[in-house]
Structures are given as C-alpha cells and as structure tokens.
C-alpha cells in the first residue's frame, strides 16, 4: 500500500492544500495526502484513517509539528475557494458558529457550552461559499480557538453556598434568582466596556475581513454576500460589514430591537418601524420537519423599510450611523398549534425597492442552513470530528480543519445530485473514482440492473455511491444523506487508489 507521502493525491485535494505554505514542500505533500486519505476513509480517529504504522507516524508528525499551523491549511483552502468562485458575479457566504466536544483526559482543551457542563473541546466560526443557486464551493475561512478555564471565583462562590433548611427553600430560590440577575447585569456592563479584540465577537469580524481580502486577491470581480444568523447580530459586526470592501453585500437576521433613525432623522426602534410599513406581497415556502417542528407549506407576508441603525460604543462613546434596508418575512395562517410562526427581520445593504429584490434577500437567508449541514457532517455525518482523541489543542485544530474541508466536499456532492442531476459525474469525481465506482456497481448490482459504459450523471453516480454505503431507497426513510454517501465513498476511493497505483506502475 502506498504511503500518504508518496501517493498521487486526487486533483481535489491538490487544489485545496497544494498551495499551503507549511515551510517545507514535503509537509505540503503530506497535508495533501492526508486530506485525500481523510476523504476516502472518513473517521474522527486518526488510527481509522491511516491504516499502517508508517502512515500513522507521518500523520501524527504533521499534526504535532508546532511549525505547521492550522491557519496555513485554512488559508490554502480559502484561496482555492476564492479562485473557484471567480466564475460568479457574487457568492453567498454563510457565517456560523459551532463547537466540537472532544475527549480531553489531560485537560489541555478549552471549555465548550457552559462551564457547569464540564465539556471540553474547540470553538469555531466557519464561513463557506455558495454559488447563487446554493452549490457549496469550498471553505472561505474558519477561526478556531479554545476558551480559558473556568473562573476560580465562580467555583469558590458555589463552594461557599450555605445549605438552607427545607422551609426556607422558596426564599433562598428567590434570593439566588435575584443574585443571578444582578450578576448577569454586572457581567453585561463589564462586557460592554471590554474592547472588541478581547471578545469572541472579534472572531466573526476576522472571518469577514479575511474572506474579503482573499476574494480581493483571487476573485476581484466576485462580490461576497455574507449571510449571518441572529447569533451574529452585534453592532461591531455590522460596522465590519458596512466598512470593509463596501461593494460586498450582507444579510443579518436581527436579534436586537435596535435604535434607528427614520428618513427624517427622528429616532425610533427597529421592530416598531418595520411593523408600521404596509405589506408588499407574499410567497409560500416549504418548511421541513426538524425536531419538534412539523413539516408544512408556510404562507409568508413581506414588509420592507429603509432605516439607519443608531449604535454606540459604550466603552468609547463613539456613535455609528449605519444605513440599512430591512426585510421582514412573517408567517400568517399556517402555523401548527403549539409552534411559533416563522418571523425573520433581515438587515441588508441590498436594495429592496421591489418584491423581487426582497425575495432575493430572503432567498439568501434561506440558503444559510447549508453551513449548519456542513457542521453536522463535520461532527456526526461521516467525518466524526468529535470522536478524535488527540491530546494537544494544536493537533486537534489541524485535524478538525482537514475534516471540515472534507465535510464541505461531501455536502457539495450531495447538493449537486439534487440541483444539477444531469451534469456528468466528472464535474466532481476524478477519472479513477468514476472507474472504481463503475467496477463496484457492476459487482454489486441487482440482477435487473444494467450498468452502461457511458459516463454516468452526477445524480446517478451519487446514488450508486449511496447504494454502496447501505442506502436502500424508499425503505431508508428519505433521500440519502451524508453518512451513507460517506460510507460508499470510502469503498470507491479505496478501489480508485488501487487503480491509480496500477496506472502508475504501467507507466514506469
């Protein structure tokens, strides 16, 4: 079996990491080979991806090398994504936060979730590029970091808490609730006085700024349309969106009822001003079932407004006036009992003078969920980053970067099969992967199936891959997903690697 270092990696892996500046060409080749192998043998544990002792040794050597920074891998993938996006007038760039909970037996990782939960791992802010039709194009950027350990004062305060008699439990609960509100208020005031570079909000800003700069260098004719959920509705992020490369666009789901200035300069508040506008039209959207939410066809109405956000830096007192267009899309008459109606208030710099323009802004937000699908695939949909057992933060970050790049490609293949089913399989799969797939399908086909010699379509190829991964059609409960697609790709890449080796030997 070929080692990671001397294997001929796929063109996809070479395109993603081939320009990575890791200080030595041998390290770059190893990173490319590791990415290629991780695509073929998706698993969270290094030992499940690299099967021989020599391969595992080489992989650990790269992951544990302090001179190899995860930022270099992200930079290579981000530049490749920008070059791939240059064919489009604009791309959607969903930005979202997530975390990976990892095993931490020696206590070197940061806290994730609440401190009380005791969970450890890494935090991330990720950005991916989508074509205007929603096709995943690659990783724009990812910020990774580890939170500091639990503050000692909080632990001491809990340790000092006196035990109260049962008949005083109600009074104690009221007192503790009041103390909790006071602490939260004090924490909010203290947080407002901290400079932004000391907050996690800076990670969102860095993601936006770095993405813009990469596109300026590698795709200057392509505009970025950033799409951010309510978690990213912070005034500092709005300033970065408005001030950096102003020709780029954004859509932000408003979370706060911010102060605004009306067209005549008088003050107001965001939600009240939008609610006072007339409806300009409506549309119907299919809402999939998720958790306790029922699937339905939701009837939505639209309002639009043009306002100026009036935000102030409490630390410095500096005022920022940020002109925005506002689109509100809200559900009317189709909400199931016990559920909240859909209600999106979207801030954007895209004009919304017509119903079509408002729908375009709404469409940009509706495509934001694709980054959530990538995070799901990264964590549990075949890549399994949370099962990794690396014992240093730097190694965990490098490995998670590789697996995140793989997750984006899996989602890209899945999307292409549903939106461009008639495209040839060669738009995403290499010639060796296609040959391997055809060979495997002919071996495991049903008796009634006939496998043609012609190039399969991407939809046909993906269905064959999913079949190899255990997909059984309608009895599986719906269209194939990332897990079955990933299992099938493992078999395909294994055979493709053997075919590539045979071709190389024949040439020598």
pLDDT tens per residue across span 300-313: 999 999 999 998 88
- CA torsion sign, 329 to 333 to 334 to 337? positive
Question: What's phi and psi for 432, nearest 5 deg?
Answer: -70, -40
In this predicted structure, what is the pLDDT of residue 343?
94
User: The whole model's pTM is what?
Assistant: 0.84
Which numeric CATH code is attached to 73-148+197-377? 3.90.350.10
Per-residue tokens: 64: 């544990």
pLDDT 10s digits, 75-104:
999 999 999 999 999 999 999 999 999 888
Of 70, 78, 2, residue with least CA distance to 31: 70
With 90 as the cut, is the pLDDT of residue 407 above it? yes
Q: What local confidence, expressed as pLDDT, does residue 153 receive? A: 53
> Which residues lie below 8 Å from residue 190, measured CB to CB, with a gap of 6+?
none
Closest CA to 399 of 68, 6, 85: 68
pLDDT of residue 72: 96
pLDDT of residue 498 exceeding 90, the answer is: no
pLDDT in tens, 370-386: 999 999 999 976 788 99
Weakest mean pLDDT among 36-40, 241-245, 381-385 = 241-245
User: Is residue 62 within 8 Å of 23, Cβ to Cβ?
Assistant: no
- In this prediction, residue 290 carries a pLDDT of 78
So where are the chain's domains?
73-148+197-377, 420-507
Is residue 145's pLDDT more than 50? yes
Q: What local confidence, expressed as pLDDT, does residue 318 receive?
A: 87
The answer, yes or no, to whether residue 2 has pLDDT greater than 50, is no
Q: What is the pLDDT at residue 200?
A: 87
Residue 218 pLDDT more than 90? yes
From CA 343, how far away is CA 441, in angstroms rounded? Answer: 46
Q: What is the mean pLDDT of residues 265-276?
A: 93
**12 SS3 class:** helix
Q: Distance between CA 432 and CA 436 in Å, rounded?
A: 6
State how far the Cα of 68 lies from the Cα of 266, in Å rounded to an integer. Answer: 54
Q: Does residue 332 have a pLDDT over 90?
A: yes
The predicted model gives 137-148 an average pLDDT of: 93
String of DSSP letters for 21-77: --SSHHHHHHHHHHHHHHHHS--SSHHHH--SHHHHHHHHHHHT-TTS-HHHHHHHH
Output the pLDDT for position 431: 86
**What pLDDT score does 10 carry?**
67
% residues pLDDT > 70 (the chain): 88
- Say whether pLDDT at 404 is over 70: yes
Topology at the third CATH level for domain 420-507: Transferase Inhibitor Protein From Tn5; Chain A, domain2 (1.10.740)
């Amino acid at each position: 079996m070929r080692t990671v270092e001397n294997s001929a990696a796929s063109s996809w892996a070479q395109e993603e990491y081939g320009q990575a500046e890791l200080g030595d060409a041998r390290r770059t080749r190893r990173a490319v080979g590791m990415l290629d192998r991780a695509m073929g043998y998706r698993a969270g544990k290094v030992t499940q991806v690299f099967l021989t002792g020599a391969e595992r040794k080489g992989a650990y050597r790269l992951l544990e090398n302090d001179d190899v920074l995860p930022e270099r891998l992200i930079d290579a993938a981000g530049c490749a994504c920008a070059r791939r996006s240059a064919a489009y007038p604009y791309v959607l760039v969903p930005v979202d936060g997530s975390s990976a909970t990892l095993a931490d037996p020696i206590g070197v990782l940061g806290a994730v979730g609440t401190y009380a939960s005791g969970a450890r791992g890494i935090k991330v802010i990720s950005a991916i590029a989508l074509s205007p039709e929603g096709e995943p194009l690659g990783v724009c950027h990812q910020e990774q970091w580890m939170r500091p350990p639990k503050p000692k004062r909080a632990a001491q305060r809990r340790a000092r808490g006196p035990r109260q008699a049962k008949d005083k439990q109600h009074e104690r609960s009221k007192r503790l609730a009041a103390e909790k509100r006071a602490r939260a208020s004090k924490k909010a005031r203290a947080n407002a006085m901290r400079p932004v570079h000391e907050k996690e909000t800076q990670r969102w800003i860095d993601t936006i700024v770095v993405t813009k700069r990469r596109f300026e260098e590698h795709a200057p004719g392509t505009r970025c349309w950033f799409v951010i959920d309510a978690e990213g509705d912070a005034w500092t992020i709005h300033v970065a969106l408005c001030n950096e490369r102003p020709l780029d666009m954004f859509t932000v789901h408003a979370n706060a009822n911010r102060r605004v200035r009306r067209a005549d300069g008088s003050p107001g508040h965001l939600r009240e001003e939008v609610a006072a506008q007339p409806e300009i039209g409506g549309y119907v959207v299919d809402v999939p079932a998720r958790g306790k939410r029922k699937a339905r066809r939701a009837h939505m109405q639209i309002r639009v407004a043009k306002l100026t956000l009036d935000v102030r830096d409490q630390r410095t007192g500096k005022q920022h006036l940020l002109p925005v267009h506002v689109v509100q899309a809200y559900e009317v008459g189709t909400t199931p009992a016990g559920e909240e109606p859909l209600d999106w208030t979207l801030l954007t710099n895209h004009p919304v003078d017509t119903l079509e323009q408002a729908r375009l802004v709404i469409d940009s937000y509706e495509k934001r969920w694709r980054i959530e699908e990538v995070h799901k695939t990264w964590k549990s949909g075949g890549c399994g980053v949370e099962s990794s057992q690396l014992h240093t933060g730097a190694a965990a970050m490098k490995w998670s970067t590789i697996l995140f790049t793989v997750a984006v490609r899996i989602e890209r293949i899945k999307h292409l099969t549903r939106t461009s089913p008639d495209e040839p399989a060669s738009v995403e799969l290499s010639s060796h992967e296609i040959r391997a797939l055809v060979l495997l399908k002919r071996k495991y086909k049903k008796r009634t199936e006939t496998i043609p010699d012609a190039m399969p379509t991407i939809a046909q190829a993906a269905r064959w891959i999913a079949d190899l991964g255990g997909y059984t059609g309608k009895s599986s409960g719906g269209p194939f997903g990332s897990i079955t697609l990933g299992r099938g790709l493992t078999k395909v890449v294994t055979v493709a690697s053997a075919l590539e080796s045979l071709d190389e030997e024949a040439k020598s």
